[in-house]
Structure 1
Amino acid sequence: MSLRHALLGLLAEKPASGYDLLKRFETSLSMVWPAQQSQVYGELAKLKESGLIEVTGTGARNRRDYGITDTGREELHRWLTEVGPDLAFRSAALLRVFFLWTLRREEGVAYLKDFARENAARKAALEQVRDTATWVGDPVQVCGWLALEFGIRGSENTAQWAEWAAGQLDEQLGDRTETESPEADGS
């Protein structure tokens, strides 16, 4: 997914200002595609230049509302139907797991236990969103709920995996002395 298509998708629902779009990112998309203010405003300018969105109104302090154009809807449709999903996965947290062997055993175990706690907390926060929302069943909300449920289930699975991995690391590296560094024993 790209920021470009995320903005087109949000604007397909209803026109919005850059500020409104940032708020909608924070409340709905941030768990799957975080965006910063400079990125959103920069991409809005590119989308406007490409004819995919247009300014639909101007408010106080020169606040501009943007709406999707027919060309923008066509691009969103093309992306949804013709472009296969990008399954590339990047995770700084998992990248660290590959190098936990460079730490003392208890440091690696502590990292994984923290990772488990953070995912359990994320799951609880997402469940709070789900449980306090007023679900009316409109198509936008149904799709948001599906993504929310993905986050809940993914966080739960990740927390369980991290607890398991902490136990595995503790068991597999348990024969090292607590002060022995991996570099000293050649591992």
Structure 2
Amino acid sequence: MSLRHALLGLLAEEPASGYDLTGKFARALQRYAWHAKHNQIYPELTRLAGEGLVAVVAEGARGRRTYAITDTGRAELRNWMLHPPDVFVVRNEFVLRMFLLSTLDPDEARALLRPVAEESARELATLRESIDRADATAPPTAAPELSRLVAEYGLRSFQTMHDWALWALDRIDQADGRREP
């Protein structure tokens, strides 16, 4: 995924300033999909504007600019969405750490995995509560909102992470002789 397409996607929802977009990354995308800081976002917005993919639609105090996606930007976003790569390149620091778990002794591995199990359980509970609230207010015959589909992906991801962390802790305990297989 590229930062440019993430920005185009967010601007397709509504016009926003660089500050607003930084906040959206921090609240909605950083934990689940993509991380970007303001020092990456602002130069990319300038490039997107230079290419005609976004336009400045308002200027406020201290040079604050509000950007909106252009028709050319929507076409670029649509093209990117409809033509995914044959192989997705993944950069996931968490998975890399888990891949290298064997470099730790069993107690260190447990110390790394316990917070994973605990945090994923908390995230799972929070997300489930939010989904249940949203589902309770949705009309029974309505098609699911696309945000609901993404929320379900998050729910299933955290469930998998939680189950895996508990399984991994159990395997380490078995290998370390602390538990019967």
Mark yes or no: TM-score above 0.5.
yes
Please say if 1:17 is aligned against 2:24: no
> Residue 81 of structure 1 aligns with which residue?
82
> Residue 156 of structure 1 aligns with which residue?
159
Amino acid at match of 2:157: G
> Residue 180 of structure 1 aligns with which residue?
none
Compute the RMSD of aligned alpha carbons.
Answer: 2.4
Structure 1 residues 85 and 61: alpha-carbon distance in aligned structure 2, compared to 1, 3 A threshold: farther
**Secondary structure of 2:171 counterpart:** helix
Alignment of 1:31-50 (within 5 A): 31-50=32-51
In 1: Cα distance, 2:72 partner to 2:117 partner:
44
The alignment of Structure 1 onto Structure 2 pairs a total of residues equal to 172
Contact 1:109–1:167, Cα closer than 8 Å, also in 2? no
How far is 1:53 from its partner? 0.6
How far is 1:131 from its partner? 4.5
> Residue 116 of structure 2 aligns with which residue?
115
Runs of at least 5 residues in structure 1 that lack an aligned partner in the other structure: 176-187
How far is 1:154 from its partner? 0.4
Contact 1:4–1:47, Cα closer than 8 Å, also in 2? yes
How far is 1:128 from its partner? 4.2
**Secondary structure of 1:66 counterpart:** strand
Structure 2 counterpart of 1:173, from 172, 176, 179? 176
**Which structure has the larger Rg?**
1
Structure 1 residues 85 and 144: alpha-carbon distance in aligned structure 2, compared to 1, 3 A threshold: farther
In 1: Cα distance, 2:10 partner to 2:98 partner:
35
Higher RCO (Cα < 8 Å, 6 or more apart): 1
How far is 1:96 from its partner? 2.0
Contact 1:51–1:69, Cα closer than 8 Å, also in 2? yes
> Residue 59 of structure 2 aligns with which residue?
58
In 2: Cα distance, 1:91 partner to 1:169 partner:
23
Structure 1 residues 26 and 85: alpha-carbon distance in aligned structure 2, compared to 1, 3 A threshold: farther
How far is 1:86 from its partner? 5.2
Alignment of 1:176-187 (within 5 A): none
Contact 1:130–1:145, Cα closer than 8 Å, also in 2? yes
Of 50-59 and 80-89, more deviation after overlay is shown by 80-89
In 2: Cα distance, 1:85 partner to 1:147 partner:
22
How far is 1:100 from its partner? 2.5
Amino acid at match of 2:40: Q
In 2: Cα distance, 1:108 partner to 1:83 partner:
36
Q: Percent same amino acid at aligned positions? A: 43
In 1: Cα distance, 2:86 partner to 2:56 partner:
30
In 2: Cα distance, 1:85 partner to 1:57 partner:
39
In 2: Cα distance, 1:24 partner to 1:102 partner:
36
Structure 1 residues 130 and 88: alpha-carbon distance in aligned structure 2, compared to 1, 3 A threshold: same
